[in-house]
């Protein structure tokens, strides 16, 4: 979405292109950065202004206020990205518009800007007007807080305050995404990109090498010489074991196991490898297979010295189904 908006800004014409809005991303056009502000509790903040939609321009202030509240757009802590025709991309979150102290525009050297921020006397500065999404028919204003205090970005913002000539900017909102919910994930991804420490990297297809067969090893704990999986939970407590890298006899499992042959094979294979991909079909129901795998892991929880078993599903409905199957099978 950000790439598309950046491309639109860089290929701007006199005819406004169609908005790239979708269910998860909302773009606000003709954005101007009005001023920097400083709050003792929330540090540096930016007041941004953008064009109201044509529909809202025809409404009264009360109607606009009702619309903004019901739309749930630009709520406090909402995640935003400023995209500029200068190829600058800066991430922000929406913050509440409490009275803050307005910062004057400084010279564009890093030392002068830093010194001005440190020596700012907030008590003597004039308080700015509260930002508002609905008070003005043509323009809406919003208070933004930088996700990361980058001096280079601060200098760029300071240099482009209230500039409109040959500068095209947009705000892209990642609708209903709160940064606090994704901060740890994003930080982990940043760390992975810097260190190239990627889980299961050996299984990722190479762009430089040709096709190759990859041997997927078993779990680290199952490679210990005395470790065996107890499959008693799948065979009505009749003794049956699974040893890593040893040929498995399905005859006993087939006589006691309630799943079909395909599900039995996938269950054993999943327990024999550190990574397994099971594709659902008419013969294979993933929910039943997942329950069998979880039951076995729980049975061997202490022997394998497992810390936790994490179940992740793409949709809430899928997770509900898995939990229902676990309850039905009396898995605790």
For the stretch 175-226, pLDDT in tens is 776 666 777 887 788 788 788 777 777 777 676 766 667 777 777 777 776 7
Number of domains forming the structure of the chain: 2
Closest-CA residue to 3 (of 93, 83, 79)? 83
Together in a domain, 58 and 113 = yes
Q: Is the distance from CB of 202 to CB of 81 less than 8 angstroms?
A: no
For the segment 8-26, the average pLDDT, to the nearest whole number, is 61
Backbone angles phi, psi at 316, to 5 degrees: -60, -35
pLDDT at 81 over 80: yes
- The pLDDT value recorded for residue 64 is 92
The residue ranking higher by pLDDT, 101 or 136, is 136
For the stretch 105-139, pLDDT in tens is 445 455 555 444 444 433 333 334 456 889 899 99
For the segment 303-330, the average pLDDT, to the nearest whole number, is 85
- The secondary structure of residue 13, as a DSSP letter, is -
Together in a domain, 225 and 147 = no
Together in a domain, 171 and 256 = no
Range of the domain at 317: 221-328
- The pLDDT value recorded for residue 161 is 87
Token digits of residue 231: 């499959």
Backbone angles phi, psi at 202, to 5 degrees: -70, -15
Together in a domain, 227 and 155 = no
Q: Which of 35-39, 100-104, 114-118 has the highest mean pLDDT?
A: 35-39
Together in a domain, 225 and 175 = no
For the segment 219-242, the average pLDDT, to the nearest whole number, is 73
pLDDT at 23 over 60: no
Looking at the domain assignment, is residue 188 inside a domain? Answer: no
Picking from 127, 154, 180, the residue at the C-terminal end of a domain is 180
Strand runs labelled E in 29-73: 32-39, 43-51
Residue 116: Cβ-neighbour burial (10 angstroms; 0-12, 13-18, 19+): middle
Rounded CA-CA distance 240/233 in Å is 9
Looking at the domain assignment, is residue 214 inside a domain? Answer: no
Together in a domain, 135 and 23 = yes
- The pLDDT value recorded for residue 122 is 39
- The secondary structure of residue 125, as a DSSP letter, is S
Looking at the domain assignment, is residue 19 inside a domain? Answer: yes
Q: Is the distance from CB of 189 to CB of 87 less than 8 angstroms?
A: no
For the segment 136-147, the average pLDDT, to the nearest whole number, is 90
Q: Across the chain, what does the average pLDDT equal?
A: 76
Q: Is the distance from CB of 48 to CB of 147 less than 8 angstroms?
A: no
Rounded CA-CA distance 129/118 in Å is 23
**String of b and e for 161-199 (b: at least 16 CB within 10 Å)?**
beeeeeebbbbbbbbeeebeeeeeeeeeeeeeeeeeeee
Looking at the domain assignment, is residue 199 inside a domain? Answer: no
pLDDT-derived band at 142, boundaries 50, 70, 90: very high
């Amino acid at each position: 979405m950000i790439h598309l908006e950046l491309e639109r800004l860089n290929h701007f014409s006199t005819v406004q292109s169609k908005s790239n809005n979708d269910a998860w991303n909302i773009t606000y056009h003709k954005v101007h950065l009005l001023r920097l502000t400083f709050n003792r509790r929330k540090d540096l903040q930016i007041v941004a202004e953008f064009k109201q939609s044509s529909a809202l321009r025809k409404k009264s202030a009360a109607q606009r206020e009702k619309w903004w509240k019901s739309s749930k757009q630009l709520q406090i802590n909402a995640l935003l990205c400023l995209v500029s025709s200068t190829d600058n991309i800066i991430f922000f979150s929406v913050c509440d518009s409490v009275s803050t102290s307005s910062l004057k525009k400084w010279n564009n050297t890093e030392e002068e800007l830093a010194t001005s921020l440190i020596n700012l006397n907030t008590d003597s500065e004039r308080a700015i007007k509260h930002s508002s999404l609905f008070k003005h028919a043509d323009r809406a204003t919003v208070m933004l807080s930088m996700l990361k205090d980058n001096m280079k970005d601060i200098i760029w913002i300071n240099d482009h305050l209230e500039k409109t000539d040959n500068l095209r900017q947009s705000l892209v909102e990642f609708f209903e995404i709160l940064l606090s919910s994704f901060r740890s994930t994003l930080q982990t991804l940043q760390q992975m990109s810097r260190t190239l420490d990627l889980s299961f990297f050996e299984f990722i297809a190479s762009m430089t090498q040709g096709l190759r067969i990859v041997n997927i090893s078993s779990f680290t704990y199952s490679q210990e010489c005395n470790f065996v999986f107890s499959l008693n939970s799948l065979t009505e407590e009749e003794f049956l074991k699974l040893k890593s890298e040893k040929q498995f006899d399905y005859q006993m499992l087939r006589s006691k196991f309630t799943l079909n042959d395909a599900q039995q094979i996938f269950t054993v294979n999943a327990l024999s490898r550190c990574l397994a991909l099971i594709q659902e079909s008419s013969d294979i129901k993933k929910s039943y297979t997942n329950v069998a795998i979880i039951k076995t892991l729980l049975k061997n929880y202490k022997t394998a010295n497992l810390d936790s078993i994490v179940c992740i599903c793409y949709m809430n409905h899928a997770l509900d189904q898995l939990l229902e199957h676990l309850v039905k099978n009396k898995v605790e």
